[in-house]
Structure 1
Amino acid sequence: MTTWSIAGTLDVLPAAQHPGLMAEPVAKALAGITEPVGVAEIDPELADTAEFCAAYSSPLSASANCVVVAGKRSGEVRYAAAMILATTRADVNGVIRRRLDVRKASFAPMAEAVALTGMEYGGITPIGLPEEWPILVDRAVADSPELVVGSGIRGSKLLVTGALLTSLPGAEVIEGLANPV
């Protein structure tokens, strides 16, 4: 079993053996991944990054957030997921807007993001997203040896590597995707 230095007080289990701790699309996507992935059950009330890190002694610098972004072009809505460190803010109307080739980009509405991903708001992760979506990965995320990310539900977290995230279908590593807060 992999030992995760960022786990803090979490009880980390092999994700492949605990599909019930993830949203269905996440568990299905992980079935084809051979790289070690950990999953840890958490209190759903503590799923938001700052509260999670404080409660479970996991470093904020090792948390990565998945934000769903939408923009329109010629009446067509284009979606993307952006993976950024929790200590940064996504450049939605600069880098992401240009990558989507839309006039204006913004965070997708919560109900829309939940319906399209099959995941809970606050737990959305790039693993198991719709295949046609680009997954934009900030260079700092890609280079991270260990990360805590969502599991598709608010009741657990996944422990992964940046390399795993960059190997997902549709993943693109982008310099300057996020800026320090």
Structure 2
Amino acid sequence: MILGTLEWVPALDRPDLLADPVARAVRESGVEAWVAEIDPALADTAAFCERYGVTMTESANCVVVAAKRGGETRHAACMVPADRRADINGVVRRHLDARKTSFAPMDSAVEMTGMEYGGITPLGLPGEWPLLVDAAVAEHPCVVIGSGVRRSKLAVSGAVLAGLKQAEVLALTV
């Protein structure tokens, strides 16, 4: 596979480049996923894209949100194109039937997912979490996402993300 200047290999050939929950999810689901090693200092999307020749439209970010209603907090993940923002106070809040939504605190997101901040990805998320996938991501033939760790990236088709058990495809961005 060719995407940017990276060397991509089948993800299961390099499980050392995946967080444990991600490796388990890829192995158990049988999804086609590719992984490439990167400099962990360049894991943030803009720096990654600039250094490795991947466009923002070929990349997607996974954001963890906390949805609150009636004293209860539920979590969900949103997959959005890297060049857009998730409408967490509008579309996401209404879809999750929450009074208030916000980005989950970094330490909570890391603890709940078992992944590194800056590498959180929808593969391997807690099974009870809804996964809201922006329609533009779902339609993309090959999108670069986190791998659960900062030292690598995954590439999958948008159809893989849209096909995950807990996934719902929506227009999420503003």
Asked if Structure 1 and Structure 2 have the same fold, meaning a TM-score greater than 0.5 normalized by the shorter chain, the answer is: yes
Shift of 1:117: 0.3
Of residues 160, 163, 169, the one that matches 1:164 is 160
Does residue 19 of the first structure (1) align with residue 15 of the second (2)? yes
Aligned: 1:113 with 2:106: no
Report the 3-state secondary structure (helix = DSSP H, G, I; strand = E; otherwise coil) of the residue aligned with 2:85.
strand
Deviations 1:6-31 (A, max 9, x none): x2110111101111101000000000
| Structure 1 letter corresponding to 2:142 | E
Cα shift readout 1:92-115 (whole Å, capped 9, x = no counterpart): 000110111111100000000000
Moved over 4 A (4+): none
Structure 2 counterpart of 1:87, from 70, 83, 88: 83
CA distance in 2, matches of 1:96, 1:64: 17
Write out per-residue CA displacement over residues 23-49 of structure 1, whole angstroms, 9 at most, x where no aligned residue: 000000000233421100000000000
For residues 51-100 of structure 1, what are the alpha-carbon distances to aligned partners after superposition, in whole Å with 9 as ceiling and x for unaligned? 00010011111000000000211211111100000010000000110111
Q: CA deviation at 1:169?
A: 1.6
Q: Which residue in 2 is equivalent to 1:152?
A: 148
**Does 1:56 pair with 2:52?**
yes
Matched AA of 2:79? M
1:130 aligns with 2:94: no
The percentage of aligned residue pairs carrying the same residue is 59
Q: Does residue 45 in structure 1 map to residue 14 in structure 2?
A: no
Alignment RMSD (CA, Å):
0.9
Aligned mates of 1:144, 1:8 — CA distance in 2: 16
Residue type of the alignment partner of 1:127: L
TM-score scaled by length of structure 2: 0.97
Query: Structure 2, unaligned stretches of length 5 or more?
Result: none
Amino acid at match of 2:105: P
**SS in structure 2 opposite 1:116?**
helix
Counterpart of 1:69 in 2: which secondary structure?
Answer: strand
In structure 2, C-alpha distance between the alignment counterparts of 1:14 and 1:100, rounded to whole Å: 34
Amino acid at match of 1:108: A
Instruction: Give me the whole-angstrom Cα distance separating, in 2, the residues matched to 1:36 and 1:92.
Output: 29
- If the length of structure 1 is used for normalisation, what is the TM-score? 0.94
